[in-house]
């Protein structure tokens, strides 16, 4: 199979945040249909409850069938007394995806990579099966985006966090988002270069539905693979905009089929319905087909 017709990977259109210390949400969050759920052990959990939340989440991982949903933990930073323990308890319990908050440098990824390798070895888990989402939330992080994305093969997604970014930048967070546009573009570009998914920041203005829709469309246009969300009611809206339309899918299927029949992956041009189609167009069509498959719209 050539580059232009790569197999679809799992879709990551939505990443729903949920606190890790709420038994109901641990049992419910994946039912709202987001592609990924991030159970938060960091900001959402008080210091006094860190151990209890971790233990509860570990039990949930052992008990609950989360189906196709990718389950992440937002780890406490490794420089705190909780971060390493999060990894040592949750990975044996079944956790395979973890978000490293405030990732500023590739060294932080390497540190987590080393820890994961150690824990995988200790528990007989295939080396490399634990994956990392690097969360870029400062100007330093954004500047280091490509180095972070390529610091380990475990890094499969990179997310952008606007709140901390604007705070550290000294800018006001606005609905229009001009203050974060450049940073977002840099994250998407670095992710694209590294061949991983870029995940856009949350929309914090829950009551502004129109603004939310516009921001989702902007995310799609910029090249993000998905968007973080803080409420289940946001999932449907994000999916509807991140999932290609029926018309787009039909058109792309025709192009992909024609390309496969013509076997032009090493270059060249084909004709579909009287139009000249080249490799970039075929790649885009394949992306649409992959997205549709990952979203379950087509089989």
Partner 1 sequence: MNKLKIIRNKVNRELPEYIEGYGEVKAYAGPFATKPEGKKYAPTKGFSKPGDKKLVETIKEAIEKCGLKDGMTISFHHHLRNGDYVLNMVMDEIAKMGIKNINLVASSLTKAHEPILEHIKSGVITGINTSGLRGTIAKEISKNNILGKPVIFRTHGGRARAIESGEIKIDIAFVAAPTCDTLGNMNGHEGKSAFGAMGYPMVDVKFANKVVAITDNLVPFPLKNISIEMTDVDYIVEVEEIGDPEKIATGATRITKNPQELLIAEKASEVLIASGVIKNGFSFQAGSGGSSLAVCRFLKEYMRENEIKGSFASGGATGYLVEFLEEGYFDALFDTQSFDTSVIKSLGKNANHIEMSSSMYANPHNKGCVAHQLDMMILSATEIDTDFNINSLTGSTGMIMGAQGGAPDTAAGAKLTVVVAPTMRKRIPIVTDKVTTVVTPGETVDVLVTERGICVNPRRKDIQEALDNAGIETKTIEKLREEVEKLTGKPEKTQYSDTIVGVVEYRDGTVMDVIKQIKK
Q: Which residues bind partner 1 (CB under 8 A)?
A: 27-28, 31-32, 63-65, 231-233
Burial annotation 133-149 (CB, 10 A radius, 16+ → b, else e): bbbbbbbebbebbbebb
For residue 87, the minimal CB distance to partner 1 (Å) is: 26
* Cα angle for residues 114, 116, 120 (degrees, 5° grid): 120
Q: CA-based angle 87:93:95, to the nearest 5?
A: 60
* Residue with smaller CB distance to partner 1, 81 or 207: 207
CA distances from 184 to 70, 111, 166, 246 (A): 23, 25, 12, 28
Minimum distance from residue 250 beta carbon to partner 1 (Å): 18
Instruction: Count CA atoms within 13 Å of residue 253 on its CB side.
Output: 12
Closest contact distance (angstroms) between CB of 59 and partner 1 is 11
**Rounded to an integer, what distance in angstroms lies between the CA atom of residue 165 and that of residue 19?**
22
- CA 183 to CA 276: how far, in whole Å? 36
Task: Tell which residue, 141, 27, 142, 41, has the closest CA to residue 98.
Answer: 41
In sequence order, the β-bridge partners of residue 71 are 37
Closer to partner 1 by CB, 64 or 115: give it: 64
Q: Which one, 186 or 238, has the nearer CB to partner 1?
A: 238
CB of 232 to partner 1, least distance (A): 4
Q: CB nearer to partner 1: give 211 or 232.
A: 232
Ramachandran quadrant class, 89 (left: phi over 0; alpha: psi -120 to 50; beta: rest):
alpha
CB atoms within 10 A of CB 288: 21
* Cβ distance to partner 1 smaller for residue 231 or 257: 231
Smallest gap from Cβ 68 to partner 1, in A, equals 12
| CB 64, min distance to partner 1, A | 7
Considering the complex, state which of residue 26 and residue 73 has its C-beta at the smaller distance from partner 1. Answer: 26
Name residues whose C-beta falls within 8 Å of residue 59's C-beta, 6 or more positions apart in sequence: 93
On whether the CB atoms of residues 196 and 155 are closer than 8 A, the answer is yes
Residue 34 vs 133, nearer CB to partner 1: 34
Q: Which is nearer to partner 1, 28 or 192 (CB)?
A: 28
**Closest CB 247 distance from partner 1, rounded Å:** 18
Cα–Cα dist 169/179, whole Å: 9
**From the CB of 27, what's the least distance to partner 1, in Å?**
6
């Amino acid at each position: 199979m050539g580059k232009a017709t790569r197999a679809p990977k799992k879709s990551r259109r939505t990443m729903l945040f949920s606190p890790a210390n709420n038994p109901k949400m641990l049992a419910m969050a994946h039912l709202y249909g987001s592609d990924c759920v991030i159970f938060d052990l960091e900001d959402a959990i008080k210091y006094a409850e860190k151990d209890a939340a971790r233990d509860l989440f570990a039990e949930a991982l052992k008990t609950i069938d989360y189906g196709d949903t990718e389950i992440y933990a937002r780890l406490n930073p490794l420089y705190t007394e909780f971060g390493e323990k999060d990894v040592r308890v949750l990975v044996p319990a079944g956790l395979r995806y973890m978000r490293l908050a405030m990732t500023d440098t590739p060294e932080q990824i390497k540190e987590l990579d080393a820890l994961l390798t150690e824990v995988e070895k200790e528990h007989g888990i295939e080396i490399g099966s634990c994956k990392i989402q690097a969360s870029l939330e400062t100007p330093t992080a954004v500047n280091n985006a490509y180095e972070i994305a390529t610091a380990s093969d475990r890094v499969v997604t990179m997310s952008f966090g606007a709140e901390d970014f604007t705070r550290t930048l000294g800018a006001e967070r606005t609905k229009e988002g001009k203050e974060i546009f450049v940073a977002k573009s840099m994250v998407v570009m670095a992710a694209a270069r590294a061949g991983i998914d870029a995940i856009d920041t949350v929309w914090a203005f829950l009551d502004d539905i129109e603004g939310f829709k516009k921001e989702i469309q902007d995310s799609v246009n910029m090249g993000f693979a998905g968007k973080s969300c803080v409420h289940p009611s946001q999932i449907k809206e994000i999916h509807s905009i991140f999932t290609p339309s029926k018309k787009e899918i039909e058109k792309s299927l025709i192009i992909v089929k024609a390309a496969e029949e013509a076997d032009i992956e090493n270059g060249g041009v084909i004709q579909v319905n009287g139009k000249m189609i080249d490799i970039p167009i075929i790649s885009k069509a394949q992306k649409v087909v992959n997205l549709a498959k990952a979203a379950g719209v087509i089989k």
